[in-house]
């Protein structure tokens, strides 16, 4: 803030005439003079009060030559700084010469645009005009008058053309070249003016944020022309569904926004959101190919009572994110709860980045039991986050967020490096575990560092199992993934398919991976004790696995009954809370010393007697 006293002195003592004028957003024209200094009142003869509220004519006089006038209009429209020498009329009507410098200013707070005009009064005319004896001045000839009229007419024509040109330039700079809708720049200007109008008693309005789902896939599979055509068809639909009074803009690659005044009921907004979702959910054909597309929509409403109505666009974006993460091809209305969730997600993401730097992830171990001996055959390594404030966190609390921000591979690296130390400690404790099974993300599996880390770790690869989620190997059969699998095979690392039964892996796929172990997900294991269908499902997983020469692990064994049933069904290994929850390496050490690795009393198959009702 400039101190008032200094500002007043600038106003009083500056020798140049200074004027501040509010400019029109569209074409830079002067809307209203808002301020002038003393020097300006001296130069023109107008009092300050007579200047404020006037339009620009007070600065450029009413008798200005056409050419100069056009030059000024052009510069104003192009919103560029310029200096010009022109004649102006003072308040008394007398003509004088002035040099004017026009400087464009803008107010980032509300988007308004301003001109600062500084004026120096010139004592002489800029060009010396030969002095004439007034008595010798002749009346102009008819030819001269005709010539002047012609000149005026041609200047008028030029003036009209210039204005048309300026209008089309403004339109182009506001328009998205592909769809013809408003572009981001125009949207921002309009949005500010909708908010300003609302604060002045105008209508509240809704912001409807639209994003085409899987647009990248269309671009990648059908090509950019198809992508453009899809965007045009979405634009057409939005045009079709909106009124003249709404604003429809394309503000990014596949992002559109609608501003719509609120009607008497919220139904006009929800109805519109609904229709957008319905009408964009159609098969989209390009040349001879067809893909099914959809769009997600986020809606937020603003009103003048809100502390910060400008926030509404971000709110609509939050609602859009919600719609995307809850299945796409749907719309969501912004709620405060979404906002709170978003803040929590953001906090979680930044905490995760910090946790990666600080290495806050710890390996926990859960015993896996050999049914033949009842002894520990291996331990599954399960990550825990030792959060400095929230304590120990299980993977369900952070793995999805870690995948979203791309740090899953880093977490796996940290867990693996800590595993090496823990395993060395376990080995020294007197009862070493035969092997460890490590969960490995898709990102880590396509990173050549994994092989390097295994080789450097000092862990005998024969003691190492890499668990790969069924969903991962179905989706990621890339060259990098195959390369990793070959390298692991060469090193002698065991491959296990985790959570088998949750995806749709084909036998062909299984044969390509050649896993030695299949782990049956606990969602099938636990009900297999009571439910015939689950029992049949588990039975067929076991028979597929064993016929392909794989060993079978049943996860989620919580009771002796689970253990007995799964043993009787033919599983080779059992894992679950019944034998031990995931624990720190030190706890596992203590347990192993106590039970000498014996976690279960194995049952001979013929002695297995369980009845089911
Ligand atoms: P998963 O690999 O299928 O691991 C088994 C999950 O089942 C573990 O959950 C384990 O604690 C839990 N579990 C074991 N026995 C029982 C039981 O008897 N009852 C019940 N209710 N649950 C049991 P956790 O530790 O929360 O891990 C969840 C998932 O997170 C894992 O499923 C795995 O997919 C993933 N994960 C864990 N650690 C890592 C890691 O270091 N890297 C990667 N990429 N993923 C990991
Ligand atoms: Mg696992
Ligand atoms: Mg599992």
DSSP output for 201-247: T---EEEEEEEETTHHHHHHHH-HHHHHHHHHHHHHHHHHHS-TTSE
Question: Could you write out the DSSP letters of every residue in 483-532?
Answer: HHHHHHHHHT-EEEEEEETSS---HHHHHHH--SEEEE-HHHHGGGGT-H
Helix (H, G, I), strand (E, B) or coil at 34: strand
* Ligand 1 close to Cβ of residue 299 (< 6 A): no
CB of 363 within 8 A of CB of 357? Answer: no
Which residue out of 386, 523, 555 has the highest number of ligand 1 atoms within 8 Å of its CB and is therefore the one to mutate? 555
What φ, ψ does residue 311 adopt, rounded to 5°? -65, -15
The alpha carbon of 467 and the centre of ligand 2 are apart by a number of angstroms equal to 6
Nearest CA to ligand 1 atom 15: 576
The alpha carbon of 243 and the centre of ligand 3 are apart by a number of angstroms equal to 53
Closest-approaching ligand to the CA atom of 501: 3
The alpha carbon of 584 and the centre of ligand 1 are apart by a number of angstroms equal to 14
Which residues are within 5 Å of ligand 3 (an ion), measured at CB?
A: 498-499, 555
Nearest CA to ligand 1 atom 25: 382
Provide the CA 209 distance to its chain's centre, in angstroms. Answer: 12
The alpha carbon of 587 and the centre of ligand 2 are apart by a number of angstroms equal to 20
Helix (H, G, I), strand (E, B) or coil at 365: strand
Give the model's pLDDT for residue 612.
42
**pLDDT mean for each 10 residues of the chain (613 residues):** 77 88 82 90 91 84 64 75 86 88 84 88 63 52 68 62 61 85 94 92 92 89 90 96 95 95 77 93 82 92 85 93 91 90 91 96 98 97 96 96 94 96 88 93 92 94 95 75 93 94 77 90 91 89 92 96 95 97 95 94 66 42
Nearest CA to ligand 1 atom 17: 556
Nearest CA to ligand 1 atom 42: 439
Give the whole-angstrom CA distance, residue 55 versus residue 36.
13
Give the whole-angstrom CA distance, residue 291 versus residue 388.
47
DSSP 8-state class, residue 433: -
Give the whole-angstrom CA distance, residue 571 versus residue 372.
10
* Ligand 1 close to Cβ of residue 447 (< 6 A): no
Contacts 24+ apart (CB under 8 A), 605-611: 605/567, 605/568, 608/564, 608/567, 608/568, 610/561, 610/564, 610/565, 610/568
- What is the pTM for the complete model shown? 0.63
DSSP 8-state class, residue 123: S
* Ligand 1 close to Cβ of residue 471 (< 6 A): no
CB of 132 within 8 A of CB of 41? Answer: no
Give the model's pLDDT for residue 113.
86
The alpha carbon of 514 and the centre of ligand 1 are apart by a number of angstroms equal to 23
Nearest CA to ligand 1 atom 35: 395
CB of 382 within 8 A of CB of 361? Answer: no
Tokens 């390097």, located at residue: 452
The alpha carbon of 169 and the centre of ligand 3 are apart by a number of angstroms equal to 62
Angle at 32 between CA 27 and CA 37, to 5 degrees: 125
Label residue 5 exposed, middle or buried (CB < 10 Å: 0-12, 13-18, 19+): exposed
CB of 74 within 8 A of CB of 67? Answer: no
Q: HEC profile for 549-566?
A: CCEEEECCCCCHHHHHHH
The alpha carbon of 581 and the centre of ligand 1 are apart by a number of angstroms equal to 10
Please count the other Cβ atoms lying within 10 Å of the Cβ belonging to residue 569.
19
Which residue out of 385, 394, 395, 497 has the highest number of ligand 1 atoms within 8 Å of its CB and is therefore the one to mutate? 395
Give the whole-angstrom CA distance, residue 74 versus residue 71.
5
What φ, ψ does residue 108 adopt, rounded to 5°? -65, -25
CB of 70 within 8 A of CB of 50? Answer: no
Label residue 220 exposed, middle or buried (CB < 10 Å: 0-12, 13-18, 19+): exposed
CB of 79 within 8 A of CB of 104? Answer: yes
* Ligand 1 close to Cβ of residue 441 (< 6 A): yes
Give the model's pLDDT for residue 137.
46
């Amino acid at each position: 803030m400039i101190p008032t006293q200094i500002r007043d002195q600038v106003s009083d003592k500056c020798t140049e005439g200074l004027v501040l004028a509010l400019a029109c957003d569209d074409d830079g024209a002067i809307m209203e003079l808002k301020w002038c200094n003393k020097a300006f009142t001296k130069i023109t003869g107008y009092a300050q009060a007579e200047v404020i509220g006037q339009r620009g004519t007070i600065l450029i006089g009413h008798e200005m030559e056409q050419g100069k006038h056009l030059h000024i209009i052009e510069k104003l429209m192009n919103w560029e700084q310029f200096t010009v020498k022109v004649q102006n009329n003072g308040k008394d009507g007398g003509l004088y010469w002035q040099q004017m410098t026009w400087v464009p200013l803008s107010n980032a707070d509300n988007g308004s645009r301003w001109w600062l005009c500084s004026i120096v009064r010139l004592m002489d005319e800029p060009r010396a005009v030969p002095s004439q004896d007034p008595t010798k001045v002749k009346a102009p000839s008819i030819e001269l008058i005709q010539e002047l009229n012609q000149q005026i007419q041609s200047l008028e024509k030029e003036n009209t053309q210039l204005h048309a040109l300026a209008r089309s330039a403004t339109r182009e700079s506001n328009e998205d070249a592909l769809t013809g809708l408003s572009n981001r720049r125009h949207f921002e200007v309009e949005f500010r003016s909708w908010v300003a109008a609302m604060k002045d008693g105008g209508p509240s309005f809704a912001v409807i944020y639209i994003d085409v789902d899987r647009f990248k896939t269309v671009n990648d599979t059908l090509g950019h022309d198809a992508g453009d055509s899809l965007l045009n068809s979405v634009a057409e639909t939005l045009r079709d569904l909106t009124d003249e009074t709404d604003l429809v803009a394309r503000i990014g690659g596949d992002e559109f926004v609608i501003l719509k005044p609120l009607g008497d009921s919220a139904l006009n907004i929800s109805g519109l959101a609904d229709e957008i979702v319905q009408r964009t959910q159609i098969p989209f054909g390009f040349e001879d190919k067809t893909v099914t597309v959809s769009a997600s929509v986020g809606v937020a409403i603003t009103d003048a009572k809100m502390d910060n109505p400008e926030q509404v666009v971000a709110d609509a974006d939050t609602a859009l994110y919600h719609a995307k993460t809850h299945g796409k091809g749907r719309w969501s209305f912004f709620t405060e709860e979404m906002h709170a969730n978003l803040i929590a997600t953001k906090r979680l993401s930044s905490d995760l980045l910090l946790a990666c730097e600080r290495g806050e992830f710890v390996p926990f171990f859960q015993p896996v039991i050999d049914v033949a001996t009842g002894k520990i055959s291996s331990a599954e390594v399960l990550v825990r986050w030792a959060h400095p404030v929230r304590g120990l966190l299980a993977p369900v609390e952070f793995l999805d967020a870690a995948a979203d921000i791309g740090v899953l591979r880093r977490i796996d690296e940290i867990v693996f490096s800590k595993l090496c130390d823990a395993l060395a400690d376990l080995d020294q404790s007197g009862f070493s575990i035969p092997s460890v099974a490590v969960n490995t993300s898709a990102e880590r599996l396509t990173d050549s560092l994994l092989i390097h880390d295994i080789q450097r770790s000092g862990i005998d690869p024969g003691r190492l199992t890499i668990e790969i989620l069924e969903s991962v190997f179905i989706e990621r059969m890339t060259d990098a993934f195959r390369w990793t699998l070959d390298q692991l095979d060469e090193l002698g690392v065991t491959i296990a398919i985790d959570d088998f039964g949750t995806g749709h892996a084909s036998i062909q796929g299984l044969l390509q991976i050649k896993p030695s172990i299949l782990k049956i997900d606990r969602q099938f294991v636990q009900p297999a004790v009571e439910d015939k269908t689950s029992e049949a499902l588990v039975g067929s997983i076991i028979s597929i696995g064993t016929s392909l020469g794989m060993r079978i692990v049943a996860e989620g064994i919580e009771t002796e009954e689970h253990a007995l049933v799964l043993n009787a069904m033919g599983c080779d290994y059992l894992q679950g809370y019944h034998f031990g929850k995931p624990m720190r390496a030190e706890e596992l050490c203590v347990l192993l010393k106590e039970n000498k690795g014996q976690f279960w009393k194995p049952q001979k198959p013929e002695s297995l007697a369980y009845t089911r009702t």
